């Protein structure tokens, strides 16, 4: 918590907005940790993955969300090595993902930028 640093959230057009980030937290009470367990916000099953990509494969996305919850833009991580999977992930998120509605301190719905993790499996 003391070392975390975040840049102010901005929509894809540069407009400042509320930022929403969700991260998985695993509480493990055992002598061995299972570091292979994880899930996505949205799961996509495919017949085949690109050569060199193993299942499961995760794509990290940033979405611009209106106060109504409508997703108006989606971008992949700049470090993504599989642009075709990023495109499929964005198309699927826009069609099938329900984004949480961000609210300000008074409880009013506001625009936001949110992270989404898509898991591809075959």
In a domain? residue 46: yes
pLDDT value, residue 33: 46
Domain assignment of residue 8, yes or no? no
| Tokens describing residue 26 | 């695993």
What's the predicted TM-score (pTM) here? Answer: 0.76
Measured between alpha carbons, how far is 38 from 87 in angstroms, rounded to an integer?
22
Q: Given a cut of 80, is residue 48 above it in pLDDT?
A: yes
Does residue 17 belong to any structural domain of this protein? no
24, part of any domain: no
pLDDT of residue 118: 93
Confidence of residue 87 (pLDDT cuts 50, 70, 90): very high
In a domain, 15, yes or no: no
Q: Quick check: is 52 in a domain?
A: yes
Q: Confidence band (pLDDT; 50, 70, 90) for 35?
A: very low
In a domain, 32, yes or no: no
Question: What would the pLDDT profile of 10-26 be if each residue is shown by its tens digit?
Answer: 888 988 898 887 766 66
State the total domains in the chain. Answer: 1
Q: What is the domain range of residue 79?
A: 40-121
């Amino acid at each position: 918590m003391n070392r975390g640093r975040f840049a102010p959230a901005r929509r894809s057009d540069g407009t400042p907005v509320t930022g929403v980030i969700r991260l998985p937290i695993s509480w493990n009470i055992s002598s061995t940790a299972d570091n292979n367990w994880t899930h996505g916000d949205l799961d996509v099953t495919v017949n085949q993955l690109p050569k060199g990509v193993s299942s499961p494969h995760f794509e990290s996305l940033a979405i611009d969300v209106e106060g109504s919850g409508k997703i108006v833009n989606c971008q992949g991580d700049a470090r993504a090595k599989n642009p075709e999977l990023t495109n499929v992930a964005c198309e699927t998120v826009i069609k099938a993902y329900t984004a949480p509605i961000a609210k300000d301190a008074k409880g009013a719905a506001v625009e936001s930028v949110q992270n989404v993790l898509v898991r591809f499996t075959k």
